[in-house]
Structure 1
Amino acid sequence: MSSVPSPFQVNVYGSSLQVPENVLDAMRNNQPSANCTLPILLKSRSFESSGKTPPNQQVWVVCSSKNSMGDVVVELVIAITEGYIDSYPAFFFSAIPPHLLAREFVQPRMEKMIQALFIVLPVRRVYAVYGPDLLAKAFAWCWTSLTGVGNYSTKPYYAAKLSFCTRQTFKTRLLPLREDLTAEIRPADPNDIMEVAQCCYGFASDSDPYNLTEQGAIREAEFLVHQGQIWIHRVTRKGTGQSAIASIVAFTRISETNGTITKVYTNPNWRRLGCAERLVRQVCEL
């Protein structure tokens, strides 16, 4: 009998400090695509390097192969990590652009990665997956086949499109505000926390089962404000002094050269005034 060696290998790391440097290099070389994994990995390494222990188990599953020169090439990464508010979904990183991924390439690798994940992680910890369509579907199919846990729905719960701009591609656009209003765009400060919390609550209100309680929204707002990760667009009615936060923008996944906007919300009372676009544009010019 003869056997054919696998063209790839899968490794599991229970600490961010154990994750090899070539994995970080692969993510750093494609920071927009690594926006869900690299910032968390860097933050975790800094946290663990100071002698602290993450509050919950974090797992990094890495699939790699060797090129014709014998060098190890990172292909796929699954990250099971923790956030300040709650546990994150399973996040993916692909060193290969998503539009070049093929099912024949992904499926066998995903099967081995999930088998490795199943050994070290409780089934209940995987409550959602987030990433490129092909990877998310492959994960869901393999996870259900292995664990018997079916999908919540036949349709994706949430669909998003990743886009990015640079200082070279960003284009300025003037967005005048209604004449009876004035605008103030700036980072949120501690005096804004309760209004920011109302926006966080509103953002999550139609995201069942990921809704926030009022206290949960306050906790999130306090964290975002103290971390300097949220900007506000405040509007004031001329001649009255009455003001309110119309829109918020949060950017919570930040690496060396990349920042990701993860939350945009406009109070229903102030919609159709261009507040969200005005605020997003200001944040992108940072």
Structure 2
Amino acid sequence: MPAIFSHPTADSYPVQVVPNDSNLEINAYDLAASIPEYVWDALRQNPVRTNVVLPLAEKARLHEAKTLDDQQLWLTCVSTTESDSKRVDLVLSFSRNTLGDYPLFIVPTVPFSHLTQQFLVPRLQSLMLAIQKFVPRSRVYSVFAPEPVAELFARLWSDSTGIWHYPEPYYAAQLSFCTQRSFKNRQATTMREGSHYNLRPAIPSDLLAVANLCLEFSQGSEPFVLDWEGAVREAEMLIYNKQVWVHEIQSSSDSSSSESSESESTEIACLVAFTRNTRTTATITKVVTSYNHRGLGCAQRLVRQVCKHLLHTGKQSVALYVAHDNIPAGKVYHKVGFVGLNGLEESIEGVERWSEIGFDRTKVQLGHW
């Protein structure tokens, strides 16, 4: 597959794009291994917020020795402070998975209070010069970032390229997290009479059931809707990478034979996937319960068990996004221990509003995530 990025030479990275503001420095890296350590340090200082960049970059660096992916790129905006030290302000990434290209991810590595228009405009404008130098405009099909960053980038990008953005975001959500301290380890609830459940990692024999739930989840995630083949590929990837758990329900029913006996049926009612993970943080990226098993507490039961597993196996926090209009999901996650979701808590550092804003699909190449 030909490279979609304009790479000057194989040995030219990092490439510096000098913006008008002499205090700013824009660097581009097509190898994760080329990203300097001070950038990694900035990303790791806030692994919850940087969960859309840090895990993917770490994975890319791990696999670069085996396979060079010429369709990934990272951009950094660094400012020089009064003491002549370098401060990483923003990190952008163009990355991908087996199902397609991810959106343009933008993560700030400064406090949320810094994200004013005065701070962001010169940095985003400088970064956009670099994007247009190395990346086809059609690759920027959407941007996912903290709300003020996404909204301003979308406006500036549309003004610069003439590619308009959709007024309603594809996804508007609250970033939240659960820690060992906030986790609520309640006693397991019981199922309806005649049924019992099993919470476990998915195994290869679960493939079709997991694929069905992946397909169901995507149908509510316009415009990123999978066909059956894509759902199977996603299920295979999740199971192979051990990144998905399932809620299995076993139900007993009377047999129709003349002798009274019972038969047992087993169904996968719910899944929880966690696909962007670092040494200290995991990110839940998919929670879906089948239509036939909603209202039974399956999601809360499985999310709690997955969080318990992750926190007890070395993770310091578990992150997730919950859509603003998905109030029932917010209540479920709050009961598990995710902070800032009950509407009563004071502002919590790290709980932030994020948006994905899409661009004119007649002029861009849609990816998937």
Q: In the alignment, is the contact (CA less than 8 A) between 2:272 and 2:288 conserved in 1?
A: yes
2: CA distance, partners of 1:105 / 1:273: 47
Higher strand share: 2
1:9 is aligned, of 6, 11, 25, to 25
2: CA distance, partners of 1:129 / 1:7: 25
Compute the displacement of 1:114 (Å): 0.8
1:273 is aligned, of 293, 296, 306, to 296
TM-score by length of structure 2 reads 0.74
1: CA distance, partners of 2:66 / 2:29: 18
**Equivalent residue, structure 1, for 2:282:** 259
SS at match of 1:253: coil
Aligned length: 280
1: CA distance, partners of 2:21 / 2:56: 33
2:178 is aligned, of 139, 147, 165, to 165
SS at match of 1:115: helix
**Equivalent residue, structure 1, for 2:67:** 52
**Equivalent residue, structure 1, for 2:135:** 121
SS at match of 2:56: helix
**Equivalent residue, structure 2, for 1:156:** 169
1:43 is aligned, of 38, 59, 69, to 59
SS at match of 2:173: coil
Residue 194 (str. 1) matches residue 208 (str. 2): yes
1: CA distance, partners of 2:252 / 2:232: 29
TM-score by length of structure 1 reads 0.94
1:234 is aligned, of 228, 248, 254, to 248
Unaligned residue ranges in structure 2 (runs of 5+): 1-19, 254-262, 310-369
Residue 79 (str. 1) matches residue 100 (str. 2): no
Aligned amino acid, residue 67 of structure 2? K
SS at match of 2:158: helix
Q: In the alignment, is the contact (CA less than 8 A) between 1:197 and 1:220 conserved in 2?
A: yes
SS at match of 1:218: helix
2: CA distance, partners of 1:126 / 1:206: 22
**Equivalent residue, structure 2, for 1:144:** 158
**Deviating more after overlay: 190-199 vs 206-215:** 206-215
Residue 104 (str. 1) matches residue 118 (str. 2): yes
2: CA distance, partners of 1:34 / 1:76: 10
1: CA distance, partners of 2:243 / 2:21: 47
Deviations 1:147-172 (A, max 9, x none): 11111x21111111111111122111
Q: In the alignment, is the contact (CA less than 8 A) between 1:234 and 1:247 conserved in 2?
A: yes
2: CA distance, partners of 1:128 / 1:121: 14
Deviations 1:25-45 (A, max 9, x none): 111111001100000010011
2: CA distance, partners of 1:162 / 1:247: 22
Q: Superposition RMSD on alpha carbons, in Å?
A: 1.4
**Deviating more after overlay: 66-75 vs 87-96:** 66-75
